[in-house]
Amino acid sequence: MQDLSFITGWIDNFLSVTCGLAPWLTVTVECVLIGLGLLLLYALLALFYIYFERKVCAFFQCRLGPNRVGPLGLLQSFADMFKMLIKELITLNHADKFLFGLAPFLVILASMLAFAVLPWGNGLQVIDFNIGIFFLLATSSIGVLGILLAGWSSNNKFTLIGALRSGAQMVSYEISISLCVVTMVCLAGTMSVSEIVAEQANGWFIFKGHIPAIIAFLVYIVAGTAETNRGPFDLPEAESELTAGYHTEYSGMHFGFFYLAEYLNLFIIGGVAALLFFGGWMPLHIPGWDGFNAVMDYIPSFLWFLVKAVVITFVMIWFKWTFPRLRIDQLLSFEWKYLMPLSLVNLVLMVIIIATGFHF
């Protein structure tokens, strides 16, 4: 299993020793480099997801999907991005201009911050500290603030209804997500992302934690779909009811930010699921099968992480293109009457299993 921290180590060494920069300057340059790297990754992932979702949904719907721009339509999302970039940002007359402009950046900021703690690969992690997963929960809940602001500041009734729906929905489903994360943290015994991954070296948590882990995973996937405002929980932007919900009034790249953030949140939910249940970047190891484990180790760690995240998000895309949308009261009663009690009971179950040593 190759450790990719040699790359980051080499850059650090190059800057501080070879170039002889002062420590503060080294840190600054590194931060800028990481920021650029993340932005690039962000854009590429969003482009990939736009293409991926369009193709997947097209095949579900007996269509071909994008197939004109580039081979197999591969350049379609690049074309879309450039179109989005050069479109006019329409300013509204009776809107709160400052909040209206701020909202998309808040939304994008939330997903950007969450990127910092994802385990991209062995040694490829932006910050690794002892409350990593807690930090992730905290940052991802900034997003709802952006959505509420967007809906409120647009001075439009549809956006307001969309924003209020989104607020109610995301606050509710955050509870289930947090409880699932706490369940898995109990099993791991740590909140540090790198340690959670390391714990899974001899088996992913979904196998080690068996019944409560599987329940937590199912609840997490459902609540995560709701958290990203995607179908069948896409009420905040229910196009047949509220045209486009909270981002109805946005145009150009401001709209683009919401669009990107939706896909990036999707990826983050997939990534966190991969981290908590499927070992992050950790290859599939089966205790006792040394040959098999060695072969698995040859697959690069970042590939493991990306593929796991994409497979999980594929399931969520599958949801969206299969199910009809819930109604707001059904959505809330589903969370408060079923999902949250279930995840609470599951947490207790997990604690009992850990206390009795019944896990692997």
Partner 1 sequence: MANLQETVARKFPEVEVAQGETLELNVPDKVWHDLATSLRNDFGYDNLRALIGMDWGEQLGVVYYIVNSTTYDMIRVKVVADGRENPFLHSISDLYAIAGVYEREVYDFYGIKFIGNPDMRRLFLRNDWVGFPFRKDYNADPDVNPVRLDHEEVEDTTVYYEEDPSGKIVEKQRVIFSPEQFVVNIGPQHPATHGVLRLRTAVDGETITKIDLYLGYIHRGIEKLCEAQGYPQTLHYTDRLDYLSAMINRHGLCLCIEKAMGLEIPRRAQVIRVIMDELNRINSHLLAMGTFCMDLGATTMLFYPLRERERILDIFEKTTGARMTFNYNTIGGVMADLHTDFVSDVKALLDVMPKAIKEYNKVFTGNIIARNRMEGVGALSKEDAISYNITGPTARSAGWNYDVRRARPYGIYSELDFTVVTRTGGDSMDRFKARITEMEESCKIIAQLIDKIPEGDICAKVPKIIKLPEGHWFQEVETGKGAFGCYIESTGAAQPYRLKFNSPCLPLAAVVDHLVSGNKIADLITIGGSLDYIVPDIDR
Which lies closer to partner 1 via its Cβ, residue 121 or residue 162? 162
One-letter amino acid identity for 211?
I
Which lies closer to partner 1 via its Cβ, residue 154 or residue 183? 154
Which lies closer to partner 1 via its Cβ, residue 57 or residue 186? 57
How far apart are CB 237 and partner 1 at their closest, in Å? Answer: 11
Beta bridge partners of 121: 124
Which lies closer to partner 1 via its Cβ, residue 57 or residue 102? 57
Separation CA 200–CA 3 (nearest Å): 16
Separation CA 146–CA 106 (nearest Å): 5
Separation CA 184–CA 171 (nearest Å): 21
Which lies closer to partner 1 via its Cβ, residue 199 or residue 234? 234
Residues in contact with partner 1 by CB under 8 A are 57, 60-63, 157-158, 161, 165, 231-232, 234-235, 238-243, 321-330
* Of 303, 285, 302, residue with least CA distance to 294: 285
Which lies closer to partner 1 via its Cβ, residue 206 or residue 326? 326
How far apart are CB 186 and partner 1 at their closest, in Å? Answer: 31
How far apart are CB 161 and partner 1 at their closest, in Å? Answer: 7
How far apart are CB 144 and partner 1 at their closest, in Å? Answer: 18
How far apart are CB 320 and partner 1 at their closest, in Å? Answer: 9
Rounded to the nearest 10°, the torsion over CA 342, 348, 350, 356 is: -150
Instruction: Count other Cβ atoms within 10 Å, centred on residue 216.
Output: 31
Q: What are the angstrom distances between the C-alpha of 359 and each of 20, 118, 210, 228?
A: 51, 26, 7, 31
Separation CA 238–CA 260 (nearest Å): 18
How far apart are CB 306 and partner 1 at their closest, in Å? Answer: 27
How far apart are CB 160 and partner 1 at their closest, in Å? Answer: 9
3-state secondary structure of 1: coil
Q: Could you tell me the two tokens for 126?
A: 């932006």
Which lies closer to partner 1 via its Cβ, residue 240 or residue 356? 240
Q: Could you tell me the two tokens for 268?
A: 């983050």
Separation CA 208–CA 204 (nearest Å): 6
Separation CA 179–CA 134 (nearest Å): 12
